[in-house]
Structure 1
Amino acid sequence: MRQRTVVMYVEIGCFVSCLCGWILICSTLATEYWIVSESASVVLSAGDYYSNLWMDCVSDTTGVSDCKYYPSMMDLSVFLHVCRALAVVSVIFGFWGAVLALIGMKCTKIGGSELANARVTFAAALTYMASGFCGMIVYSWWGDKVRSEFVDPYYLETKFELGAALFVGWGGSCLVICGSAVMCYFSGKESFPKRLNKQPRRPPTYMTARTRRTYMLPGSSRPTTFIIPPSHQSYSESRGSRESRGRTGTQTSQSPTTVRPTLPPIDSAV
């Protein structure tokens, strides 16, 4: 009972961690500051350029900002399409992970038996982990692209820096991955006890050619191999030797004796 209570509180903590991380990932989709570039060569013409998955924005020194969505989806790069897809998939996986966790956790008591609840929680942990990895791929790929363009001396276009949304996304993805990993361990240990708690193997048995014999079962044309333990083997050998000795003695006692007739003595006078 105490162990069940501990597991229940661990599941609650993991669920809260995954939920907070998922909320952070969702917040980055609506944040414009994925990449930021500041041009301050002239004070009056200073402005900030920033963009995200959906639009490009610019703001001047007066605080007025203007954003423009990307004009055509067919004209976008493959990099942007893949990042959009992975970000949306991360949000969807996080939502279904929360639904499965609410059904399978021990504190909700919505599911059926303990085994069924543990397996539902294990599925929720795997879904959360997929959500965290999808988000981590998006933010890491985007950050690596920005870094490579910034340090490239032959890149002549506007160079950007890492925005606040990337750091928020990295933190949210780490929360989701860590929480789902702990939840996956505890729920998997309860869902598949035979696979995780293996019984120690028995020591191997040794047999020789003397302990293996082939016999013909009655009514069967195929030989069948029986394995005779050494103790029974020695007993059967001693018993067979005694029986063979007894048979030899019986045959010796029952063998007829030949009696030779005695001739009468020859008279020396005749």
Structure 2
Amino acid sequence: MNSALEAAAFLLGFLGWVLVGVALPHRCWKVSTVDGNVITTATIYENLWTSCASDATGVHNCRDFPSLLSLSGYIQACRALMIASLVTGTVGIIATLVGMRCSKAAGNNYVLKGRIAGAGGTCFFLQGLCTMAAVSWYAFNIAQEFFDPLYPGIKYEIGEGLYVGWSSATLALCGGSCLLCSCRLESAEEKRPHPYEPPLRHSGYHAAPSQYGRNAYV
């Protein structure tokens, strides 16, 4: 295993996991647009959990979505994907810490450590895929409503939370890919088991070295 690449991959995956925790509760996933409005008295912004409004004086008023079943299907799916991303990232961090070469958790069995690190890389990669799917799906619905001339509701633009989510997904995908590459064994020597060496017996008897060659007994 390449220790430097392994450490860099873990750092990327960890930063991606942290940004998932930042993006998930971020209030600004979409912001009401000012395009076509002459006078704007309030700004509305939403995320997966709440809807907030801010007037010209800076007063904020937020409310949680009243019912899960009344939400749009894509919002429910994005919630599930983001939570799954957070969980898989947590598992990836634990597995990577156990499987890293500098860790003493699995001893000196580098084959086992490589497999555990590979599992951690897979979790980071899944984390990135879940996050990318959630934020891209949410952004697609924003753009679809924005460019639909027959849409009667409030039109929104992409908010800061989605950019944080895209950054998180990119870091997690890069970290997972690098970790999967770094867990590859550098040479075939690491796969060979160590030869058995019997323990030395401490006793008063010491065998004298033989003075005869092998041919002397023939």
TM-score by length of 1: 0.66
Mean Cα deviation higher: 72-81 or 48-57: 72-81
The residue that corresponds to 1:148 in the other structure is 144
From 163, 167, 177, the equivalent of 2:163 is 167
From 185, 189, 194, the equivalent of 2:181 is 185
DSSP 3-state at the match of 1:190: coil
TM-fit CA distance, 1:177: 0.1
CA distance in 2, matches of 1:81, 1:135: 14
TM-fit CA distance, 1:190: 2.2
From 86, 92, 111, the equivalent of 2:81 is 86
Whether contact under 8 Å (1:115, 1:191) holds in the other structure is no
Whether contact under 8 Å (2:91, 2:120) holds in the other structure is yes
Which protein is bigger by CA-based radius of gyration? Answer: 1
The residue that corresponds to 1:11 in the other structure is 6
Whether contact under 8 Å (1:133, 1:173) holds in the other structure is yes
TM-fit CA distance, 1:96: 0.6
CA distance in 1, matches of 2:76, 2:53: 22
TM-fit CA distance, 1:186: 2.2
CA distance in 1, matches of 2:10, 2:166: 18
Mapping of residues 1-270 of structure 1, within 5 Å: 7-39=2-34, 41-42=38-39, 46-112=41-107, 113-187=109-183, 189-190=184-185
CA distance in 2, matches of 1:34, 1:192: 47
Which deviations, in whole Å up to 9, do the C-alpha atoms of 1:37-94 show, x marking residues without a partner?
A: 145633xx62110000001100001111000101111222221111110000000000
CA distance in 2, matches of 1:144, 1:95: 28
CA distance in 1, matches of 2:145, 2:71: 18
> Which runs of no fewer than 5 residues in structure 1 stay unpaired?
194-270
Change (3 A) 1:192 1:166: farther
Whether contact under 8 Å (1:22, 1:94) holds in the other structure is yes
Q: What is the aligned length?
A: 185
CA distance in 1, matches of 2:124, 2:130: 10
> Which runs of no fewer than 5 residues in structure 2 stay unpaired?
189-218
CA distance in 2, matches of 1:60, 1:38: 14
Whether contact under 8 Å (1:35, 1:160) holds in the other structure is yes
User: 4+ residue runs of structure 1 moved beyond 2 angstroms?
Assistant: 38-42, 189-193
TM-score by length of 2: 0.81
Which deviations, in whole Å up to 9, do the C-alpha atoms of 1:175-220 show, x marking residues without a partner?
A: 0001110110221x22997xxxxxxxxxxxxxxxxxxxxxxxxxxx
Could you tell me the percent identity over the aligned residues?
A: 32
CA RMSD of aligned residues (A): 1.7
TM-fit CA distance, 1:109: 2.2
Which deviations, in whole Å up to 9, do the C-alpha atoms of 1:153-187 show, x marking residues without a partner?
A: 11121100000010111011000001110110221
